[in-house]
Structure 1
Amino acid sequence: MRTYLSAACSAVLVVLLAVLVPVGALSAWVDLEIDNTDRYVDAVAPLADDPDVRNTVADLITDGAMRQLDAGPLQGAARSFLHRAVLSFTTTDAFRDAWTTANRTAHEAVTAALDGSTGEAVTIDLAPVTEQVKRNLEENGVPFADRVPVQHTDITLISADRADQLRQTFRLLRDGSVWPAVATVLLAALAVAGAWARGGGPGHRRSTTAALAALAWTGLGFALGALVLRAVVAVARGRVLSEVPGDETAGAAAVYDALTGSLRTTAWIVCAVGLVVAVVCAVLVRRRSGGGAAPAAGNPGAPAPTCDDGRAGEEWFP
């Protein structure tokens, strides 16, 4: 009966950790990265060198400019020339600076949109980039450069409909801050400490065995929670990008992957560490409880190893 109760408690612990690990990671991510301007900018700044982002920016700026230009029979040639000029500009340091400026300016708008009213999409405004592009083209004598309008040209990250579905979750994660992650660690510590205390406390072999068993289940729970987190990030990516306009999908995907990179890394690290802890502790528990041990050499009738309280071969890892 005691073994079944232990198994039930272990199962409950694993389930709780499988829920708390992803919730804690997401809440901490919103608090420490999405709500922090410097960390947000640091995450997306390297995308200035990403080919998908550069092509998306060039397409959007060119399309916006051509809607305001009338080059007559040279419209097609003018568009091609302007697109090449803009794409060439995206390889410069000036573009990298403009991209960083645009994202620093956009950060407040992004978090406000996720925390704001319904009907608002989450976007990055490329106006600072367009302004720098226009200045660069004018300095290089590119035809029609002076007629390029500096207007709000956006990369859509999350559509208005999808943002409406995510806002409540985002607010809950923001309110949670780092506390769900703290609660996860405390739960794991209490589970191990409780098992150790039930085993008899200091000086008892059973206490160490019970603590190792609880630690094994805790490691398994963390590993499972990390896999759940990785799945959540992947599913959310597919749903978010499914409603982004086709010509902006590649750029939005690059931004999404950059912002969630820390979550994916955390998931794999926690999963690996959790599995290692679970396996090592399980092996130690089996050895300490005498599971599978052979009789002593030269004494075939010797009894199985016993715990301190005399109960032969009782396993604390059900």
Structure 2
Amino acid sequence: MTSRVRGALSAALIAVACLLVPFGAPAAWAAYGLADPGRYVSAMAPPAADPAVRDAMEDEVDGPLRPFVHDFARTPAFPAAWDAGNRAVHDAVLSALRDDSRREVTVDLAEVEHRLAYEHVSLDLPRTRVAVLPAAELDRLRKGYDVLEVAGFWLPVTAAALAAAGIAVAACRRRALTATALGTALGGALLGLAVAVGRRLTLTDLPDPVRRPAAGAVYDALTATLRTVSWLLVALGLTVALSCWLTGRYGSLRARRASAVPVPDPAPQPTRAQV
């Protein structure tokens, strides 16, 4: 294989690998982050302290329960109740996505009360079930979840394998590694841009502008990991690219210095006197 062919093949493999970065990271985040109950509850914990989220929650409650919800949302026990409610909703939705149920997804408030008992929080909730997801949405979400489970694993693995193959077949591996690092940094920047654009589009599409601060707080909590990953990809890519450039410069400088030093002629050997 000639150097030109190796360079073209390396460039193609590295380009595809870097293009997969902005897609593989969100897929892995959704499949292994949001689908995990503990990680989901931890991600959703910060909005419990956001006043806009509390106000939006109170607006959803009608009747005589509104004063109770208003007072309870400002007690030290509210974060535990918020976490218990989110975990119950997550478990119910995830269970419905993983089976063939065609029923509406509901949450039993008695289950939330039982979870709160482990946190030593006593709360007398009505014995009723609250609807959280209509049955008509299950098929669409189930297909998306199945795709994410596959993509969340194979997209990052494929990107890493293609990048490694591109570096291995390159005629100049340092240059290929630099290109991979810069492409990774670019992919991280595109991921961060996509998260920012997604936030703007999500909030713009809300029919009620009053709910936008609460929706923004929830969106920021759910995508905090993606924003961190995007910055890490940018930092890692630029660090590796800079390291490759510095090592290349240092190697070239050493080579030039070595070629500039004259090599002394060997000293003449003394001849033995003739007798």
TM-score normalised by structure 2 residue count:
0.69
For residues 46-85 of structure 1, the aligned pairs below 5 Å read 46-61=46-61, 64-65=62-63, 83=67
Q: 1:116 to 1:232 in 2, by over 3 A?
A: farther
Cα RMSD (Å): 4.4
Q: 1:4 to 1:282 in 2, by over 3 A?
A: farther
Give the match for residue 24 of structure 1: 24
- Cα drift, residue 13 of structure 1: 4.5
- Cα drift, residue 174 of structure 1: 2.3
Separation of aligned partners in 2, 1:18 and 1:88: 51
Q: 1:222 to 1:34 in 2, by over 3 A?
A: same
Q: 1:228 to 1:6 in 2, by over 3 A?
A: farther
Q: Percent identity?
A: 36
Q: 1:264 to 1:86 in 2, by over 3 A?
A: same
Question: Does the Cα contact within 8 Å between 1:13 and 1:221 map onto a contact in 2?
Answer: no
- Cα drift, residue 222 of structure 1: 0.7
Question: Does the Cα contact within 8 Å between 1:192 and 1:215 map onto a contact in 2?
Answer: yes
Give the match for residue 263 of structure 1: 226
Question: Does the Cα contact within 8 Å between 1:127 and 1:153 map onto a contact in 2?
Answer: no
For residues 1-318 of structure 1, the aligned pairs below 5 Å read 8-9=8-9, 11-61=11-61, 64-65=62-63, 83=67, 86-111=69-94, 152=130, 171-195=146-170, 198=171, 210-246=172-208, 247-289=210-252
Unaligned 5+ segments in structure 1 are: 70-81, 118-122, 132-138, 140-145, 199-209, 300-318
Q: Deviations over 1:10-38 (max 9, x none)?
A: 65345323321122211211221111112
Separation of aligned partners in 1, 2:11 and 2:86: 45
Separation of aligned partners in 2, 1:9 and 1:34: 37
Separation of aligned partners in 1, 2:161 and 2:195: 25
- Cα drift, residue 167 of structure 1: 7.5
Q: Deviations over 1:146-190 (max 9, x none)?
A: 9x9978487x9xxx99x9998765542222232211222222222
> Aligned with 1:178: secondary structure?
helix
Give the residue type in structure 2 aligned to 1:97: A
- Cα drift, residue 46 of structure 1: 2.9
Higher relative contact order (CA 8 A, sep 6+): 2
- Cα drift, residue 287 of structure 1: 4.3
Separation of aligned partners in 2, 1:22 and 1:151: 39
Q: Which moved more, 1:36-45 or 1:186-195?
A: 186-195
Separation of aligned partners in 1, 2:9 and 2:163: 13
Question: Does the Cα contact within 8 Å between 2:14 and 2:163 map onto a contact in 1?
Answer: no
Question: Does the Cα contact within 8 Å between 2:108 and 2:127 map onto a contact in 1?
Answer: no
Number of equivalenced pairs: 247
> Aligned with 1:244: secondary structure?
coil
Question: Does the Cα contact within 8 Å between 2:188 and 2:231 map onto a contact in 1?
Answer: yes
Question: Does the Cα contact within 8 Å between 2:167 and 2:177 map onto a contact in 1?
Answer: yes
Q: 1:109 to 1:248 in 2, by over 3 A?
A: farther
Give the match for residue 73 of structure 1: none
